[in-house]
Amino acid sequence: MPEIRRLAAVMFTDIAGYTALMGKDEQRALAVLAKNRKLQKDLVRKHHGEFLKEMGDGTLLCFQSALDAVRCAMAIQEAVKEVPDLNLRIGIHLGDIVFKEGDIFGDGVNVASRIEQLANPGGICVSGQVCQTIKNQQGITAWPLGKKKVKNVEEPIDVYSILPGESSLHRKNAPAGQS
């Protein structure tokens, strides 16, 4: 199969505390994982995305639109609020990706995975590229977290925390708990 390259909004999700839950109650952890998978697949499809793969308790998702990715992430976080032990961290980056031999690669994938690690449980972090694409959209607030140096990425990345609410970008101070 030939290599296919495209620009995409790449989303990584991860269940915060999953390893500890698995150590305490394997059946509960597996139930949480199944609930997460079903919730995400339904919402990703609704927001015109692709559910690419699972990696343990994490998922890799892809969207043709950064706005669709952010709205999907917000919908996912809203949906999991009432599910015990399902505390997700979500990261989104807009970048070049490569589909090859049934897998996905590229800087866009790597950066999205690093941004996800910066999100608080229940939070969504996005790169500056995503923030620029979604600016002035109703119902989305982006709080700047500053330039962040992340593992194995040469240049620091502008990172923003996404919160539901009125449209507002480039606030001076992040809300409590965001860093």
Pick the range with the lowest mean pLDDT from 47-51, 144-148, 164-168.
164-168
pLDDT for position 2 = 81
Q: Give me the pLDDT at residue 165, please.
A: 60
DSSP E strands, the chain: 4-16, 49-55, 58-63, 87-100, 103-105, 124-127, 140-148, 157-164
Alpha-carbon gap, residue 119 to 28, rounded angstroms: 24
**What average pLDDT does the chain have?**
89
Euclidean distance between CA atoms 18 and 149, whole angstroms: 25
pLDDT tens digits for 121-142?
Answer: 999 999 999 999 998 888 898 9
Find tokens 């996912």 and name the residue.
76
**CA nearest to 11, candidates 55, 72, 56:** 72
**pLDDT at 154 (0 to 100):** 84
